[in-house]
Chains A and B, each alone.
Chain A
Amino acid sequence: MQMSYLQAGEGVPLLLLHGFPQHSHMWRKVIPELASHYLVIAPDLRGMGGSSILPDGYDKKTLAEDLRAFVEALKLDPFYLIGYDLGGGVAYAFAATNPEKVRKFAIMEYVPPGFGYEYGLQPVRDWQSWQLAFFTVPDVAVQFIIGKERELLAWYFCHWSYNPDAIDQDDFEIYVRQLQKPGALRAGFSYFATVFDDTDYFKTLAQQKITTPVLALGGEFGAGGFMVPGWQQLAETVSGAIVPQTGHWIADEAPEALIQELRDFFN
C-alpha cells in the first residue's frame, strides 16, 4: 500500500497518529513548534487521508503492522509515539509489540475496547457516542451517510468540542474532501467495525502491561476523566492530564496546551 505522511524538523523522531474522521491534517497547529525540537512525522493511516484505501485490514493488529513497515521503510531510530482517538489503538498495538522502538508513548482521547471504550457502545440518555455502535455495521452506515459527509463532520465537530470554531471552514473542507473519496467512509467505519476483533487482541496484549512510560491526555469535555484509570490497566507507569476547556479535538482546540504537555513529558 501507499502511505502518505507529513514530515518536518530534525532530532529524535516523533510520530503523530490521527484518528477518525480526520487525517494527518489534524496536527497542523502543533507540527511547527514540535518540529523545532524533533523530527516530526505524521502518517495517514490505511484508508484515510492520502494513503491507499484497501478492502480490509482495519483491525488494529494489521494497522500496527502497517506502522512497523512504515517506520522500517523510513529507517527511524526509536521514537516518541503519540496516538489520538482510534489511532491510539494502532499506537497501543504497536507499542505493546515493538517496545524497543518506542521511547515514550502519549495517548490522547482513547481507551481500548475491553478497558473502557465498550462503555461508549452502550445506549444511555443523551447518548453522544452512538456512532461507535452504528459504524460497526458499515454497509448500513455508508448507505445513510454517503452524500452527507458534511453533516457527519458538522455533528462531530459540534458535539465533541468545547470550542466548535476551533476547526475553521478551510480545515473543515479539507476533512470533507477526504471523506468524499470513493471508499473513504467504508474504510473509516471499518476502524469501528473491527472493535470485536480488536477487543480480543487487546485483551491478549494486556496480559503484560507495557513498561514504556505513558502520558494519558484527555479533554475536560472529552475523555479527560477516563484516561488515567483506563490506561493504568495497560501500562505500568501512567501520568496524565486533563486539558481544560477542551473537547475531543485537543490538537485543534488547545494546540498550545498540547505542545506544553508533550514537551514536559518527552523531556
Chain B
Amino acid sequence: MQFTDFSHEKAIVNGIRLHYRQAGTGDPILLMHGWLGTCYTWRYVAPALAEKGYQVIVPDMRGYGDSDKPLSGYDGLTLVEDMRSLLKLLGVTRKVHVAGWDMGALPAFLFAATYTEEVASLIYLDEPLPSVNLHQVTAFTKETRGGYWHFGFNMALDLPELLIAGKEKEFFDYLYGLMLYNPDSISETDKAEYLRTYAAAGGIRGSVGWYREALTTTDQFAQAIARGKLTVPVLAYGGEFATSYTKVQLEPFAEVVEGGIIPNCGHMVAEEAPDFLIEKLAVFLEKIQTLDTAKP
C-alpha cells in the first residue's frame, strides 16, 4: 500500500474544517505531524501500519496543510478536542493509539493524560517536554548554543508572516539543514508538497499558532503531570542527532516507557528513519490488546 491509496476527506469538527487521510481497518491509530509538516509527514509510516492491520487516521492539524487556519485555538487541549471530535465523527469507539511528532507530540501527550480511558497507547517522537525541560532548550545559553530561537521568533506577532513571505523555500531549506541527519530524506518533490500549503494564504500564520499559545500548552502540561503518571503504555524515540533524550525525559512521568534513540537520525524521524520506526511501532502496538469502549 502507498500513501496515495489513503483517502482524502474533510470534515467540520470543533468549529473548523479539517482535512485528513485514512486507510486500513483494525485498532485505530492517530498520527499527528509537527511544525512545518502535514499529514504528508507520515507518507512512509502510515501505509505500513495500514498494511499491518490498523485503521490509520492522518490529519492535517489546525493551521496546516489543507485544514482551516483559524486565528486561535492552537493550545494543546484545543488540538486534543479537534482530534476527539474527528474520531467521534469517524465513529471510532475503540481505544486509540495516539502518536505525535515534534509539536504534534504535545496534543498526543495531553490526549493520553486527560482522556486516558479513550487511549490505548502514546507514541511520543523527538520532542522535549513542556513544563519539564522545554524552557531549558529554548533558553539563550552556551549549553544550548543559543537555544531554540524559533520559539521566540514564531511567537512575535505578525513578524514571521512578514519576513518569511516570499522566502518560504529558503526558510525550509535552512531548517532542513539543521533538522536532518541525512539531507536526502526530504526530496525536492517532498518540499514542493509541503510548500504547496505553507506558502498559501494563511499558511505561515497557521504554522506558528501553536508557538503563540505554547505557554498555555505548557501550563496544561504542568497540570497534567501534577495529576500523576501516565498509565497508558508509552513508546518514545528521539533521533540520535536531535532530541535524543525523548525517552529518558518521560521516564519519571509514565508508568511504562519503551523506546530510546534512533541511530543516525536527526529530528524528522518519520521521514529519516521510517523503517526503524515502523518495525518498533509494529512490535509495540502488537503487544497492546485494545477493548471496544463502545457503550451499549
A: which residues have CB within 8 A of B? Answer: 53-56, 137, 139-140, 142-143, 146-147, 182-183, 186
Task: Please classify how large the interface on chain B is, using the bins under 10, 10 to 19, 20 to 34, 35 or more.
Answer: 10 to 19
State whether B71 touches A183 (Cβ < 8 A).
no
CB proximity of A246 to chain B, nearest CB, Å: 34
Closest B residue by C-beta to A186: B158
Indicate whether B69 reaches chain A with its CB closer than 8 angstroms: yes
State whether B162 touches A146 (Cβ < 8 A).
yes
Indicate whether B260 reaches chain A with its CB closer than 8 angstroms: no
Q: When chains A and B are docked, how far (Å) is the Cα of A182 from the Cα of B204? A: 13
Specify which chain A residues have a CB less than 8 angstroms from the CB of B205 in the assembled complex. Answer: 139
What are 27 sample pairs from A and B whose C-beta atoms fall under 8 A apart? A53-B157, A53-B158, A55-B71, A55-B72, A55-B157, A56-B71, A56-B72, A139-B69, A139-B202, A140-B201, A140-B202, A142-B201, A143-B165, A143-B200, A143-B202, A146-B162, A146-B165, A147-B165, A147-B166, A182-B156, A182-B157, A182-B158, A182-B159, A182-B162, A183-B158, A183-B159, A186-B161
Specify which chain A residues have a CB less than 8 angstroms from the CB of B161 in the assembled complex. Answer: 142, 146, 182-183, 186
Q: When chains A and B are docked, how far (Å) is the Cα of A26 from the Cα of B157? A: 27
9 closest Cβ pairs, A-B complex: A183-B158, A139-B202, A182-B158, A140-B201, A139-B201, A182-B162, A143-B201, A182-B159, A146-B165
Specify which chain B residues have a CB less than 8 angstroms from the CB of A140 in the assembled complex. Answer: 201-202
How would you classify the secondary structure of chain B's contact residues: helix, strand, loop or mixed? loop
Query: 8 Å CB contacts to A: which residues of B205-219?
Result: 205
Q: When chains A and B are docked, how far (Å) is the Cα of A143 from the Cα of B71? A: 15
Closest A residue by C-beta to B199: A143
Q: When chains A and B are docked, how far (Å) is the Cα of A139 from the Cα of B71? A: 10
How would you classify the secondary structure of chain A's contact residues: helix, strand, loop or mixed? loop
Q: When chains A and B are docked, how far (Å) is the Cα of A142 from the Cα of B161? A: 9
Residue among B165, B201, B205 with most chain A CB within 10 A:
B201
Specify which chain B residues have a CB less than 8 angstroms from the CB of A142 in the assembled complex. Answer: 161, 201
CB proximity of B162 to chain A, nearest CB, Å: 4
Specify which chain A residues have a CB less than 8 angstroms from the CB of B166 in the assembled complex. Answer: 147
Specify which chain B residues have a CB less than 8 angstroms from the CB of A147 in the assembled complex. Answer: 165-166
Specify which chain B residues have a CB less than 8 angstroms from the CB of A55 in the assembled complex. Answer: 71-72, 157
Specify which chain A residues have a CB less than 8 angstroms from the CB of B72 in the assembled complex. Answer: 55-56
CB proximity of A107 to chain B, nearest CB, Å: 30
Q: When chains A and B are docked, how far (Å) is the Cα of A183 from the Cα of B157? A: 7
CB proximity of A134 to chain B, nearest CB, Å: 12
Specify which chain A residues have a CB less than 8 angstroms from the CB of B159 in the assembled complex. Answer: 182-183
Query: 8 Å CB contacts to A: which residues of B138-161?
Result: 156-159, 161
Closest A residue by C-beta to B158: A183
Specify which chain A residues have a CB less than 8 angstroms from the CB of B157 in the assembled complex. Answer: 53-55, 182-183
Q: When chains A and B are docked, how far (Å) is the Cα of A186 from the Cα of B157? A: 11
Specify which chain A residues have a CB less than 8 angstroms from the CB of B71 in the assembled complex. Answer: 55-56
CB proximity of A59 to chain B, nearest CB, Å: 13
Closest B residue by C-beta to A180: B162
Closest B residue by C-beta to A193: B71
Annotate B161-177 by CB proximity to A: 1 below 8 A, 0 otherwise. Answer: 11001100000000000
Q: When chains A and B are docked, how far (Å) is the Cα of A139 from the Cα of B63? A: 12
Specify which chain A residues have a CB less than 8 angstroms from the CB of B200 in the assembled complex. Answer: 143
